[in-house]
């Protein structure tokens, strides 16, 4: 969809506001055209000494009233117009947010957060201006131009109008050439701002790491360079936009010279009155606005087109995980993977290869293996963050894609490796999936996650703000708050992706004991590099290079002499050495 089609659809939906604004602008144009004609009439009456003082006062009063009416109409059309035009910005931001929130992780792998934020601010602002200011300025300028030129040619003298309009085709060529450069410069400016936004977002997100490594000076140099590039790109864009003004000035100066020369000759030969030449000169001066409006409209439209060319691919990007399922509720049942394979886009080596397993309802499955063996990838497939390339993934007999994403998300509680907390209180973070939960229910979940005592020691207890991304809490506290959040959700499937890596073994044992007590009817999948975490699992899978290398209970695996047994002995030896 082009920018013009987008604006056309918006105009049709908000036709009343634009129509009212157009009527006001038409009234302004008529008054502006009437004023010079009236001034010329008054001048001729004064030259002929046919005006009395009361008549002159009455004529001047009409001119003042016309000026006041123009002022009021200008205020009115701007209020009406911008109330409608801002609605386009609201709609585009809502569309962008909805699209981004429904995209899967694969969409964000090659897109940066700062640039997406820039789309929601500067780019949408540019499109909004094209739909508002540009459309009405174009209408106003065109109407004024037609009326003024019509009055010049029909109301004063057609010969003089032909002379005055001779330079205008040259201005049209100049505008076409300038607008091409405005488009390129505007796009470059928006892209530079996006890069600057990226750097600021990443720097603030990783500020503690930057300080710990002493990288402040380098980060500041990078910011200064990006800021300078963004400023230069913006300056180039403004320079090209400013080029419209000299083109207008040259055209108007040339037209004025031709008008004075030809008009003086006509007056000298009594073919034109002084009043008519005065009116014509005033009309010529009123062409200044249509000419500036043309440059302003072209500038806004080119800037809007550049912004839309960046925004449209994101709005129209297909969902990386489709939501075409029809089953709206997940009933507890077995989870079956049949010969599932998957590889990440752009990576030839598969992350999972021919994985088959069955997880009965209400059981606990342990997933272990070396780093990069495919443990987290398997959880992402269960979450439908990605779709398998081959094989079948079923829950209670239904393919996962048969469920709506909302139904699937409601049925799964997930604690990722890096727990994410929002800038809210501890209680609000725990109750994220169940905002209506009582304080008692929140505290029960916190006790099960062994984080209640830590929360009680905070300045305001459960009402303590955790800061952005939970910055005021330790890594272990963030993990346990995330576990409490998952437990409070009370979903039939609980996925723990190395969610106990930041807690000590004693706390880990307490949490696992609580999980065993509370897991009745709930399927639990635990990914961990600590084998003690999965020792009580009903079944454990060992992944190696994306394949199932070993599987069985803790007892059978330790007796088999494979990777699991060797890793268990090593971790037990290390634990005994740490204890001593």
Instruction: Please report the pLDDT score of residue 540 as a whole number.
Output: 93
pLDDT band at 578 (very low <50, low <70, confident <90, very high): low
- pLDDT, one tens digit per residue, over 450-462 is 888 888 888 888 8
Task: Give 514-518's long-range contacts (Cβ < 8 A, gap of 24+).
Answer: 514/447, 514/448, 514/449, 514/450, 515/364, 515/448, 518/448, 518/487
pLDDT at 557 over 80: yes
| Confidence bin at 579 (pLDDT 50/70/90) | low
Q: E-assigned strands of 292-444?
A: 335-342, 352-359, 364-369, 390-395, 398-399, 412-415
Specify the pTM: 0.72
**If phi over 0 gives left and psi between -120 and 50 gives alpha, with beta otherwise, what is residue 513?**
alpha
Question: Alpha-carbon distance 537 to 359, whole Å?
Answer: 12
Using a pLDDT cut of 70, give the percent of the chain over it. Answer: 94
**How much is the average pLDDT of 488-514?**
83
The CA distance from 181 to 279, in Å, is: 37
CA distance 367 to 300: 56
**Is the model's pLDDT at 267 over the cut of 80?**
no
Cα separation, 555 vs 565, in Å, equals 9
Beta strand residue intervals within 476-560, DSSP E: 493-497, 523-527, 539-544, 547-552
Which residue ranges form the domains of the chain, and what is each CATH number?
3-100+113-316 (1.20.1560.10), 420-503 (3.40.50.300)
- Specify the pLDDT at position 109: 76
Whether the per-residue pLDDT at 32 is higher than 90: the answer is: no
Distance CA 15, CA 172 (A): 30
What's the whole-number mean pLDDT along residues 69-77? 79
At 519, the pLDDT band (50, 70, 90 cuts) reads: low
Q: Strand pairing partners for 184?
A: none
Contacts of 577 (CB under 8 A, 6+ apart): none
CB 99 within 8 A of CB 317: yes
The 3-state DSSP class for residue 222 equals helix
Contact criterion met (CB below 8 Å) for 463 and 483: no
C-alpha of 114 from chain center: 9
Reply yes or no on whether the pLDDT at 268 is more than 90: no
- From CA 45, how far away is CA 60, in angstroms rounded? 13
Q: Burial of 384 by CB count in 10 Å (0-12 exposed, 13-18 middle, 19+ buried)?
A: buried
Contact (CB, 8 A) for 468 and 423: yes
Q: Is the pLDDT of residue 520 over 70?
A: no
| Sign of the CA dihedral running 46, 52, 55, 56 | positive
pLDDT digits (tens, 9 = 90+) for 123-138: 888 888 887 778 777 7
CB-side neighbour CA atoms (13 Å) of 263: 23
On the CB side of 371, CA atoms within 13 Å amount to 1
Tens-digit pLDDT profile for residues 193-235 = 888 877 877 777 777 777 777 777 888 888 788 888 888 887 8
Tokens of 196: 């600057």
Residue-wise pLDDT for 140-176, tens only, equals: 777 777 777 777 777 667 777 777 777 778 877 887 8
Average pLDDT value for residue range 31-55: 71
pLDDT, tens only, 363-378 = 889 999 888 888 889 9
Rounded to whole angstroms, the Cα distance separating 525 from 376 reads 11
Could you give the CA distance from residue 415 to residue 347 in angstroms, rounded to a whole number? 26
Residue 119 has pLDDT above 70, yes or no: yes
Q: What is the mean pLDDT of residues 546-565?
A: 90
More confident residue, 41 or 373: 373
In the numeric block, the tokens 């307490």 are attached to 510
Beta bridge partners of 395: 335, 398
Q: How far apart are CA 424 and CA 342, in angstroms?
A: 37
3 state SS of 465: strand
The DSSP-derived string for 541-571 is EEEETTEEEEEE-HHHHHHHTSHHHHHHHHH
List the beta bridge partners of residue 527.
Answer: 367, 497
Q: Are strands 412-415 and 547-552 parallel, antiparallel or unpaired?
A: unpaired
Whether the predicted pLDDT of 580 surpasses 70: no
Per-residue pLDDT, 222: 83
The pLDDT tens digits of the residues spanning 310-327 come to 888 888 888 888 788 888
When mean pLDDT is compared across 213-217, 224-228, 277-281, 497-501, the lowest value belongs to 277-281
Residue 515 is predicted with a pLDDT of 79
Answer whether residue 401 shows pLDDT above 90: no
User: Rounded to the nearest 5°, which phi and psi values hold at 542?
Assistant: -105, 120
Q: Is 560's pLDDT higher than 60?
A: yes
Please report which confidence band the pLDDT of residue 394 belongs to, taking 50, 70 and 90 as the band edges.
Answer: very high
The pLDDT value given to residue 1: 64
CB atoms within 10 A of CB 418: 14
Burial of 142 (0-12, 13-18, 19+ CB in 10 A): middle
- C-alpha to C-alpha distance for 515 and 304, rounded to whole angstroms: 55
> To which H or E segment does residue 57 belong?
helix 53-102
Q: Write phi, then psi, for 80 (nearest 5 degrees).
A: -70, -40
Pairwise CA distance, residues 91 & 548, whole Å: 48
CA nearest neighbour of 20 among 63, 92, 78? 78
**Interval 571-575 mean pLDDT:** 80
Q: Is the pLDDT of residue 283 over 90?
A: no
Indicate if the pLDDT at residue 330 is higher than 80.
Answer: yes
pLDDT in tens, 402-432: 888 888 888 888 888 888 888 888 899 899 8
pLDDT of residue 120: 85
For residue 445, what is the DSSP state? H
The mean predicted confidence, pLDDT, of the chain is 82
> Does residue 448 contact residue 487 with C-beta atoms inside 8 Å?
yes
Give the pLDDT confidence score for residue 468 in this predicted structure.
Answer: 74
């Amino acid at each position: 969809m082009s920018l013009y089609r987008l604006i056309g659809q918006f105009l049709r939906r908000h036709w009343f506001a634009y129509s009212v604004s157009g009527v006001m602008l038409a009234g302004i144009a008529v008054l502006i055209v009437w004023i010079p004609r009236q001034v010329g009439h008054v001048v001729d009456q004064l030259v002929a000494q046919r005006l009395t003082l009361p008549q002159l006062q009455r004529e001047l009063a009409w001119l003042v009233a016309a000026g006041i009416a123009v002022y009021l109409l200008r205020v009115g059309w701007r209020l009406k117009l911008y109330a409608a035009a801002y609605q386009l910005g609201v709609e585009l931001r809502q569309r962008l947010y909805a699209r981004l929130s429904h995209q899967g992780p694969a969409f964000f792998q090659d897109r940066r957060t700062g640039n997406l934020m820039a789309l929601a601010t500067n780019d949408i602002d540019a499109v909004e201006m094209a739909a508002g200011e540009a459309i009405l300025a174009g209408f106003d300028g065109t109407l004024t131009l037609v009326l003024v030129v019509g009055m010049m040619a029909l109301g004063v003298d057609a010969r003089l109008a032909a002379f005055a309009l001779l330079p205008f085709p040259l201005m049209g060529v100049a505008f076409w050439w300038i607008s091409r450069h405005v488009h390129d410069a505007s796009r470059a400016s928006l892209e530079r701002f996006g890069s600057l936004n990226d750097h600021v977002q990443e720097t603030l997100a990783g500020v503690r790491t930057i300080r710990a490594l002493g990288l402040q000076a380098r980060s500041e140099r990078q910011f200064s360079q990006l800021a300078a590039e963004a400023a230069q790109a913006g300056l180039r864009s403004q320079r090209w936009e400013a080029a419209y003004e000299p083109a207008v000035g040259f055209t108007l100066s040339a037209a004025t010279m031709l008008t004075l020369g030809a008009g003086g000759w006509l007056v000298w030969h009594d073919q034109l009155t002084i009043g008519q030449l005065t009116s014509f000169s005033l009309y010529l001066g009123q062409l200044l606005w249509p000419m500036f409006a043309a440059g302003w409209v072209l500038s806004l439209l080119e800037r809007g087109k550049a912004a839309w060319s960046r925004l449209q691919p994101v709005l129209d990007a297909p969902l990386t995980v489709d939501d075409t399922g029809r089953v709206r509720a997940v009933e507890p049942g077995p989870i079956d993977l049949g010969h599932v394979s998957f590889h990440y886009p752009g990576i030839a080596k598969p992350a999972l290869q021919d994985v088959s397993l069955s997880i009965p309802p209400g059981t606990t499955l342990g997933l272990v293996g070396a780093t990069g063996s495919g443990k987290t990838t398997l959880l992402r497939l269960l979450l439908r963050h990605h779709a398998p390339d081959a094989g079948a993934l079923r829950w209670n007999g239904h393919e996962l894609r048969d469920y709506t994403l909302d139904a699937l998300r409601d049925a799964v509680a997930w604690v990722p490796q890096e727990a994410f907390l929002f800038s809210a209180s501890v209680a609000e973070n725990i109750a994220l999936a169940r905002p209506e939960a009582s304080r008692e229910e929140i505290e029960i979940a916190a006790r099960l996650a062994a984080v209640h005592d830590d929360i009680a020691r905070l300045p305001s207890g459960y009402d303590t703000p955790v800061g952005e991304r939970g910055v005021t809490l330790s890594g272990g506290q963030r993990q346990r708050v995330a576990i409490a959040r998952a437990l409070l959700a009370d979903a039939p499937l609980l996925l723990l992706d190395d969610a106990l890596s930041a807690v000590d073994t004693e706390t880990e044992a307490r949490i696992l004991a609580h999980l065993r007590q509370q897991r009745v009817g709930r399927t639990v999948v635990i990914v961990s590099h600590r084998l003690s975490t999965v020792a009580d699992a009903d079944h454990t899978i060992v992944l190696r290079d994306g394949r199932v290398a070993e599987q069985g209970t803790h007892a059978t695996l330790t007796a088999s002499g494979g990777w699991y047994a060797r890793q268990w002995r090593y971790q037990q030896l290390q634990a005994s050495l740490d204890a001593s």
